[in-house]
Structure 1
């Protein structure tokens, strides 16, 4: 399904459906299209909200986890959201963890998939190679078990991003911030029910990371999807939605 982006008070976001709030957070190179299957699968009974994180627009001095967490808090307050089910992929999971740690009264349940926060091996850790299409294609394909999931449109989108020096500077700053911002000491304080949905073949946040999240977050359960890498909601959308539905009851 094609997602319609709304603009209000300087925020860009998707909002579909009515019911309990499902807040979705995309990753560093993520796009709204990453969540199409989740919106399609849940908007008939949930109010699905996806803020576009200002990864490429935020002031360079604020480009990091703290700035993104502050943005999310301000967005949630602006929209008056409460009692949320928060789902984050990759960097979005990291932002969601920080938000939950500081606002547990606002979060009913937390769902992480391929989340950073403990360890990740990503393209963003070093300066992306500008102008090298083959390199970008290889790195985008690296995030999927089946390289065919890395469509030309997706590769072109990442290629355009990495051809912008200002955007590259922000990507690197945010990626380094994520690597510095290890939450191993903090996440045992998360009390909300937490679901971990992981690709068994994740090369960026490997299965060992999922087991560590499961060990550290007290009220958590871990589910793996086979033949799946870093974005289960894209590679195996039906299985991902099924696991999330079971968790939500």
Structure 2
């Protein structure tokens, strides 16, 4: 995992970044990275949100740590539920990219009373262009580079270091098997028909040039969720918080500020 400027805390089996005031009246924000992501994806977002008074927690999703039989999106969702419970967080804002968005959706469906709002970016759960089993079989550097570049609008973000990491993963059979299992699990655990149940305020931030979860996926999330707003970022692929962190963070902060003005942090009636 790439290093971040923030310390990694450990509580029980959980490892995470935690920044910002613990006594803030604002809802805590939980950041969930994607399948091939890590905490470094959120460095700019952690800083922007914590500087604006939010308590921000970014757990490491233990993609490779479970027995193969348990590996999948539901098990990662349970991990996040246990993380929120262990840290005794009240109603949270979930911010998820790609697989992290999918985990946020499943968590929200299971724990609706604990989710104040969501910010989803390039989320799986409806449809995504998966890497396919060939990604985990072909150990050809140029092929891996091309697939890594698909994540971004600007291929410069697919650095030599990142391509090396992907090569290392596909050459590690236990890790490659787990990634393949999670990719298949994401295909199976679709939430399309359940999205109408998620009535918490939700912001969808999508790269206009995302080819993993194309723009029409963001539009379908918006159309199916009762209280969702969709914002596109131009010249941006599947990871807006990496390619355009300033825009992503500004949209997220604006959304959270509107929430604070419109809806104080009290449980809505009926939940």
- Please give the residue correspondences for 1:84-103 in structure 2 after superposition, counting only pairs within 5 Å: 84-103=92-111
- Please give the residue correspondences for 1:126-205 in structure 2 after superposition, counting only pairs within 5 Å: 126=134, 128-129=136-137, 131-205=139-213
Q: TM (normalized to structure 2)?
A: 0.89
Secondary structure at the aligned position of 1:175 is classed as: helix
Secondary structure at the aligned position of 1:43 is classed as: helix
Aligned residues: 249
Correspondent of 1:245 among 229, 253, 259: 253
- Tell me if the contact between 1:125 and 1:176 (Cα under 8 Å) persists in the aligned partners: no
Give the drift of 1:6: 1.6
Give the drift of 1:73: 0.8
Counterpart CA distance in 2 for 1:8 and 1:33 is 20
Counterpart CA distance in 2 for 1:164 and 1:130 is 12
Counterpart CA distance in 2 for 1:173 and 1:25 is 19
Unaligned runs of 5+ in 2: 258-271
Segments ≥4 residues shifted beyond 6 Å: none
Structure of larger gyration radius: 2
The structure-2 alpha-carbon separation of the partners of 1:24 and 1:244, relative to structure 1 and needing over 3 Å to count, comes to: same
- Tell me if the contact between 1:127 and 1:168 (Cα under 8 Å) persists in the aligned partners: no
The structure-2 alpha-carbon separation of the partners of 1:124 and 1:24, relative to structure 1 and needing over 3 Å to count, comes to: farther
Counterpart CA distance in 2 for 1:126 and 1:91 is 20
- Tell me if the contact between 2:135 and 2:170 (Cα under 8 Å) persists in the aligned partners: no
Correspondent of 2:12 among 2, 9, 14: 9
Give the drift of 1:152: 2.1
Correspondent of 1:28 among 18, 35, 39: 35
Counterpart CA distance in 2 for 1:49 and 1:124 is 31
Unaligned runs of 5+ in 1: none
Q: Deviations over 1:111-151 (max 9, x none)?
A: 10000000000215555135322222111111100000122
- Tell me if the contact between 1:109 and 1:193 (Cα under 8 Å) persists in the aligned partners: yes
**In structure 2, what is the equivalent of residue 70 of structure 1?**
78
**In structure 2, what is the equivalent of residue 208 of structure 1?**
216
Q: TM (normalized to structure 1)?
A: 0.96
- Tell me if the contact between 1:3 and 1:33 (Cα under 8 Å) persists in the aligned partners: no
The structure-2 alpha-carbon separation of the partners of 1:224 and 1:157, relative to structure 1 and needing over 3 Å to count, comes to: same
